[in-house]
Chain A
């Protein structure tokens, strides 16, 4: 029986090539996107899931309970050790502190090799490798990092540094300061872990480099790279620990600080997704993608159902004959399902191929290393199986029921009309569904693109264009002044400033502030930007009150932003001359100027209260405003000068606007993904629309002929098609618009500074949909309208 079904199914597919092609192309595009989205979502869900006793691993995080609650994924450096001593909750506790951008030097005889490692090095304790499943290829994980100046590096890094030679016992130097001997080789970290470092050095060595930071008393600061992981004992619940942690605040902080500094456990499984801390991707984006994937499949199925029910008439004779010969409804139903299965299987194979081909593109976009192995991944196989079944039944069952329901006598006499098949209203509902999905995606694309454009074009309050930043690798006043003075003479250099970071940066230091002689710190933190007196000038920061600070190497005067005045409930003018203390009282002076607010973070965050003050000990970059005509030669001169001053370091530079656009990386990725998927949804929708209008044209041939004989013009005929689709698109819009508005409203809530979704967005979306629909429907309609009525009438 099934052989017969397959045979006739196969031949039918061959006979109706357009119909088959529309279905297969539509379905395979839909399924391919679904496969990619599935791979993407499961890849992210798999992050750090491979560690043993996953449910018992937590990270201790810091919360600052003040005016509002601020979250920090890191903890004060001594916390881990104290937790180990003060509590018995954990089976294992491990501290890890990573510092990015390290210079690695390897000396072999006279040969000196230098590598700039962007991921830097991590100081950690041996217990880290007990908690986390990062196996060692060589060496003993329990002892490898026990002694000072020992290191563990990954296999691929070992190969990069030492080639095929055995790396154990070899040494390397970090930042021209401390030597390490390799005692272990790590298996390369898998792509689905949030831990990126390739170099791990013994924690005890940290004192040699950062004595103040590494001391057991540095409880007053949190460096974002300083983290503490624990594995709880099986009998301990995280609630028990969270309940006990305030005791720690009371023990190590006094007064107001004991209330402000709070610590909490964060499950390891939450780390990748929690944007309050350092999560990579919010789960809601994954959900959104999942829904888009589902919608794409639904859109493709809708095509299938639409075309199949429209086509049902052509199958009526066959159904009639089969019924006369004794076929029952279920048999006819299953016959149709078999045909659908054939199409779906074709589409599936094609979709898998497409997904494999486009995965590298997706990996490049996301800077990830996802893989697609059908046989290795039971989840993928299960997903494909379920998708196939879903698609077959979503698309096959309704047409199957319609066909099986045909009355044999009517079917044989070709007396079944489109009306008696019914389903016309269902097809309308489906087209509406399809276009509602397309329009929602279009609106989404417009809003995200609008917000991205806004982020790019908004006046950040400072000049970010044509600014080159060079690193200051060591804190040597003479050298940095030499660098500044020599770079200033290069042709094309307009202005330059030595500073910690540009006005907007991913690297920030926030500290408490004491205003005048108030007894305690304010309930908010101030963002410190140390820089020389050329900072305002170079970045075009505008003073709204007072003056710039005088040239100096140390802090005596401050310039603050308007937000500071707002926070203190004063006008900028009133602030002038008042004294402030920051950084735990180490920096003090009077406010001499107030600058207009500028965006120091991405538009996701509010503008912080900021103070700018000279403090050469904190300068790590030289920012240079260059004339774009001379960039090329200027950059070459910078490198030459820099290398002559810092021969033992690694030269690098970057443009400020590139760094700022990195703030919106996730948004850009989302935009591209939504754009692509919206494009595919629209394409699938158009395929279906084209199929439907072709079918309608065929059905209406006689009607058109009669109308033309009776005097209808081409425009009347075109309107015959147009009014039907225009109405459906409008209904789709009425459904999509509020839904898309609501979802995009939620999306925009993540931005402190955002566009408003005005009527323009919706007008654009509906205009765009109409344009596409007109193009799709137009050609076929015009052809029908132009057909000679004599010919049209003869076809019936």
Chain B
């Protein structure tokens, strides 16, 4: 599903040049659950941004579902992203001015899904995440675990093929964290590919494979299953 080869990303300011990704290559197959680990500054987040089509690489190739996407323009990237990729962030990133329902509904609005169908799909996913009773609450009225469940609901409501999770349990206590990891595992079992950046060895054990990075390169790959 994903094949990156020789991927490079360099951040330049006037005086400093920071190599974030240094000729990185790997592959992720459909249905896999991959963890990416490594110390701060090793390039994990840059990698996730490029995989999520939020950023361009400076060199190398990125093949998504058989298409070279490394040099897509903004419009094409946005289109590919909203149809295929769901995001889960450490800090949840819910819009404070929208209710739970409206936050989850947002991707469907951008996909152009009609009102009644939207309602039904949002309700289904909220039900699945067991936060239906909180549908009219605002994010700041929810606990961290509930907020992350909403974020996961939002990530999956458009049935993406790929979920990118950036330290999804980083802001949660262990019981809420486990709950979220279980949600991701369930999704994976239903066929969704998941790539998760994490610092937590505990969380990484939910995945099939761990890619360890240092200074923008893959150091090792552990296959867990």
Contact = CB atoms under 8 A, between A and B. Distances in A.
Interface of A: 1, 4, 7-8, 11-12, 15, 317-318, 320-329, 331, 408-409, 412
Helix, strand, loop or mixed for chain A's interface?
helix
B95 A318 contact: yes
A11 B110 contact: no
A327 B112 CA distance: 11
A8 B98 contact: yes
Contacts of A320: 93
Interface residues of B, number: 28
Nearest to B115: A3
Nearest to A11: B97
17 contacts: A4-B105, A4-B106, A8-B97, A8-B98, A317-B93, A318-B97, A321-B93, A321-B94, A321-B106, A324-B81, A324-B87, A326-B83, A326-B110, A328-B74, A328-B78, A409-B54, A412-B93
A1 B93 contact: no
Nearest to A329: B74
A677 B204 CA distance: 67
Contact of B106 (A15, A325, A328): A325
Given A15-B97, A317-B93, A323-B78, A408 B54 contact: yes
B216 interface: no
Given A7-B98, A408-B54, A326 B111 contact: yes
Contacts of A11: 97-98
B57 to A, nearest CB: 14
Nearest to B103: A321
Nearest 6 CB-CB pairings of A with B: A326-B82, A11-B97, A326-B110, A325-B107, A321-B93, A318-B95
Contacts of A326: 78-79, 81-83, 107, 110-111
Contacts of B81: 324, 326
B164 to A, nearest CB: 10
Interface string B108-122: 011100000000000
Contact of B52 (A4, A15, A324, A327): A324
B146 to A, nearest CB: 17
Contacts of B52: 324
Interface in B62-97: 74-75, 78-79, 81-83, 87, 89, 91, 93-97
A412 B95 CA distance: 11
B106 A322 contact: yes
Contacts of A1: 109
Contact of A409 (B55, B74, B106): B55
B162 to A, nearest CB: 13
Given A321-B93, A409-B55, A7 B102 contact: yes
Given A321-B93, A328-B74, 7 more contacts: A4-B109, A8-B98, A324-B87, A325-B82, A328-B78, A408-B54, A412-B89
Contact of A8 (B55, B74, B95): B95
A68 to B, nearest CB: 71
A327 B78 contact: yes
Nearest to B111: A326
A690 to B, nearest CB: 25
A331 B109 CA distance: 11
Contacts of B171: none
B49 interface: yes
Nearest to A331: B110
A409 B106 CA distance: 18
Nearest to A10: B97
Contacts of B78: 323, 326-328
Name, among A7, A317, A325, A412, the residue most crowded by chain B CB atoms within 10 Å (CB to CB).
Answer: A325
A376 to B, nearest CB: 39
B102 A4 contact: yes
